Structure 1
Amino acid sequence: MNKFCLVLATALLLISCSKEADFKIVGTTPDIKNGTNVFLQKIDENNRLANVDTTVVKEGKFSFDPDQVTSPEMLILSFENLQGNIILIAENLEITVDAYKDSLYTSKIKGGAENDFFKVYYDDVVSSNKEKQKLQQEGSMAMQSGDTSKVAVIRNEFEAINNADKRRRLKLVEEHPGEFVSVIILSDLVGTRIIEATEAERLFNSLDKGLQEADKGVKLSEMIAQLKAAETAAAQAEVGNKAPDFTAPTPEGSQLSLTEAMGKKYTIIDFWASWCKPCREENPNVVAVYNKYHEKGLNIISVSLDRAEAKEKWLTAIENDQMDWYHVSNLMEWQDPVARKYGVSAIPATYLIDENGIIIEKNLRGEALQTKMQELLGES
C-alpha cells in the first residue's frame, strides 16, 4: 500500500511538472474586435517574419498552444489590420498577454524570467528612442533654420544618449550571461555598431555555452565576425591611405571602376540610397558643389545602397535630385561589396580623394564640403 501510494504520488508529480512546463500563450484584449486574426510569428534566417500559427479573437480572448521549445526564442504577435506588434520570449510555461489595440507595444506580458528580463530591456529601448526622436526633430528644425551651433549641441546630446545606452546594455549582458535575452541585446549592439568587435567577442565568450551554440548565438558569432571585417576595412579607408579601388555596375549595366571615374584633381566617393532621407537632404548641396567645381577638376562617383527590387527608385532619385555624375550599385543594400570594402556602417558617407587616390577628408557635408572645395579649388 505504501509502495502504491509512493508510485501514485510520483506519477502525480510528473503530471504536474509536465503541465507547468507546457508552453502556452493566453491572451486577453478589451478592444480588439472578435474575429480578428492573430498571427504568431518568428524571425527566419533571412530576417523576415515567418508565420508559426494563426488564431482568432473570441469573446475578447485568444490563445496558442505551440510545441515546446528546446531553448528560449523570440516570437512576435501580430494582429490583422493593426499596426505594430507584441514581442515575447518563448518559454516552456504559460505566458499571458494583455493586448491593447491602440498601443500594442505597451501590452503587458507575464510569464517567465526571460520575459521579465526582456521587458527591462524593451522599456529601456522605448524610453531612449523617444529621447532620440525628440532630438532628431529639434535637429531637423535647427538645420532648416541654419542654426549650426544648435545642431552641434544636439549632436553632442545624441552621442551622450548613445553612450549611456551602451553602458546600461553592456551591464545587462554582463549581469545575465545565462539568459537568452542577453543574446538579443548583444545582437542589437553589434547590429547597430554601438560596440566594437573586440568588446563584442569578450561578452559573447562570457555567455553560457548553450547560448553560444543556439541558432541565434551562432548568428551573433557571424555578426561579430562581419563587424571585425568591417572595422578592418574602415581602418584601411582612413584619411592618409589610398582609397580602395573597386568596380561596380552602372545604371546601364556596364562596369565602372573608381580609377575610371576619378577627376583630374579631386573625386568624391559618395555612399547613399534613394530611401535615405539625410542623403536626399544633402544631395542639393553636393549638386551645387559639383556644378561649381566640376570644370576645375572635381568628379563624383555615387555608390547606392539600394535593393534590387528598388532599382527604379534609385534611377528616379538620380534624375529628380539632378545628380549628373557617375553612379554605380550592386543593389545589395548593406551587403554591397563596395560599402563593405570601405567599412561603411551609416549613410550618407563620403570620401574626398586627390588625383593620386589618397583619402584627404571624410564625411564632409553642407557648409564644410563647400568650404573645403573652395580651399582646394578656389572660387569659380
Structure 2
Amino acid sequence: MKKFSMPKALTLFALLFPVAVMAQEGAYTVSLDYGPGVTNKIMFNRFTLSTGGKKDTAITLNGKATFSGIVNDERQRGQLIVIEGDYQRGGLFYLEPGKININYQGKHPVISGTPLNEDYQVFRELLNATVDSANVNNTGRPVTEFDPGMMNARFNVIMKFMAARPKSEISVDLLNEIGVRFKDKVQMVAAYDKLTASAKKTPQGIELRNRIKGLGAAKVGDMAPVFTTPDTEGKNVSLADYKGKYVLIDFWATWCVPCIAEMPNLVKAYSTYKDKNFDILGVSLERPDSKELWLKVIKRDNLTWKHVSDMKWWNCTPALLYNVSSVPANFLVDPQGKIIATNLRGEELQKKLAEILL
C-alpha cells in the first residue's frame, strides 16, 4: 500500500505513457516539487503485466508531494494523471528502489536520485531540446514530441542516445519502443547488436531479443493472419469479414499518446475513402479494467469504424499474431487478404490510399 502526501500544480497532466519499472525489489520514495503553489488532485495508477491496476489518489499541498511504496520483483508499470488542478505539467519517470526527486519548477521536469532516472534524464534533455527547437518561431499550437511530424525526429534522438549509451537499460526500453519504425528485421537487428552484452542480458533485453526472433511474422507480401476478437458490444468480429475490401488494421491503445495524436489522420482517411471499398479495423491493446475508457475515447474522437479488443493488454491475440511490440502500428490489407503496406501514418497513409483507391 502506497503512502501519499502531495503538494502543487498541474491539470489533466497527460503522463499517459506507462512508467517502466525494472525487475528489482525494494522501497521507493518519490518527492515532487512544483514550487509554491496550487492544490491538485492526482491519481497514481500502478499495474503489472499479469494483473490489473491499483489506483490511489492524493491532493497536493503547498507545492510539494511525496509518495512511497515497494517495487517487487515483477516488471511493473505506473501512471500519474492529474485530474484536477491549475495547469498541465507532467513527465515520465522510472519507478525503482531508492529516493526519486522530480522538480517541475523549470520549463521541463528534472528527474534525479536513482540510476535509471539519472540516465533517463539525459535522454529527456536531448529530446526536450529537439522539441524546443521545433517550437522556435512557431505561432500556432505548440509542437509536442508525440505529434506525427515529430516521429522521425524522436526516432533520431533515440538512436543518438543509444549510440552514446549502449550499456543503458534505457536504451533497451527505447529500442523496444521504436521497433515498429524499422523497415525490416535487418535494421532492427543492427540496432540491437549495438547494445552491450550486459544490456542484452537484462529482462527487457531478453524480451527484445525474443521479439526480434519473431519479426517477419506479418510483412508486406504475406497473407494477413486471420483473427477473431470481440467488438465494443462483445460480438466477435473476424478479419475474414473484410475479404473483398481494402482494410487498414490499426493497432492502438487509449494509453498511447502517439496513437491518439494520429487519430485525426485516420478519421480523415475513413471519411474520404469509406465509400471506395476501404475500411478500418481498430485493434486496441487495453487492460482488463479499461473498457469504459476505451468506449469513451472511441466516442469522444469520433472513431466510427469497427473496434475490437480482448482486453489482454500486451497479450492481445491479434498483436501477438502480427508481432506488434509497440503502438501505434498498422497493416494495410488488399481485397485478397494480402498485406500491401505497413505503418502508414500522416501523409504517407493519405498518399497510399489515393494511389490505390482513386
Label 1:375 to 1:252 Cα distance change in 2 as closer, same or farther (>3 A): same
2:218 equivalent among 237, 240, 243: 237
Report how many residues are paired: 281
Counterpart residue number, 1:47? 76
Q: Secondary structure at the match of 1:230?
A: helix
Counterpart residue number, 1:254? 235
For 1:321 and 1:99, the matched residues in 2 are separated by: 32
Label 1:253 to 1:190 Cα distance change in 2 as closer, same or farther (>3 A): same
1:161 equivalent among 147, 157, 164: 157
| Letter aligned with residue 43 of structure 1 | V
Residue 352 of structure 1 pairs with residue 337 of structure 2: no
Decide whether the 8 Å contact of 1:85 with 1:105 is kept in 2. no
Counterpart residue number, 1:337? 317
2:129 equivalent among 121, 128, 131: 131
Counterpart mapping for 1:281-300 below 5 A: 281-300=261-280
Decide whether the 8 Å contact of 1:237 with 1:243 is kept in 2. yes
Label 1:260 to 1:169 Cα distance change in 2 as closer, same or farther (>3 A): same
| Letter aligned with residue 285 of structure 1 | N
Label 1:42 to 1:300 Cα distance change in 2 as closer, same or farther (>3 A): same
Residue 192 of structure 1 pairs with residue 173 of structure 2: no
Q: Deviations over 1:59-104 (max 9, x none)?
A: xxxxxxxxxxxxxxxxxxxxxxxx989989879xxx9x99979589
Residue 271 of structure 1 pairs with residue 251 of structure 2: yes
Q: Shift of residue 322 of structure 1? A: 3.1
Rg larger for = 1
Label 1:37 to 1:316 Cα distance change in 2 as closer, same or farther (>3 A): closer
Label 1:275 to 1:38 Cα distance change in 2 as closer, same or farther (>3 A): closer
Decide whether the 8 Å contact of 1:233 with 1:341 is kept in 2. no
Decide whether the 8 Å contact of 2:249 with 2:332 is kept in 1. yes
Q: Shift of residue 244 of structure 1? A: 1.8
- Extract unaligned runs of 5+ from structure 2: 1-28, 37-60, 79-89, 180-186
Decide whether the 8 Å contact of 2:94 with 2:116 is kept in 1. no
For 1:192 and 1:132, the matched residues in 2 are separated by: 18
Q: Shift of residue 236 of structure 1? A: 2.2
Structure having greater relative contact order (Cα 8 Å, sep ≥ 6)? 2
Label 1:159 to 1:140 Cα distance change in 2 as closer, same or farther (>3 A): farther
Decide whether the 8 Å contact of 1:269 with 1:302 is kept in 2. yes
* Structure having the larger proportion of residues in strand: 2
For 2:209 and 2:269, the matched residues in 1 are separated by: 35
For 1:40 and 1:47, the matched residues in 2 are separated by: 15
Identical counterparts, % of pairs: 30
Decide whether the 8 Å contact of 1:231 with 1:343 is kept in 2. no
For 1:255 and 1:157, the matched residues in 2 are separated by: 39
State the TM-score, normalized to the length of structure 2: 0.60
* Structure having the larger proportion of residues in helix: 1
Counterpart mapping for 1:105-144 below 5 A: 121-134=119-132
Label 1:255 to 1:41 Cα distance change in 2 as closer, same or farther (>3 A): same
CA RMSD across the alignment? 4.7
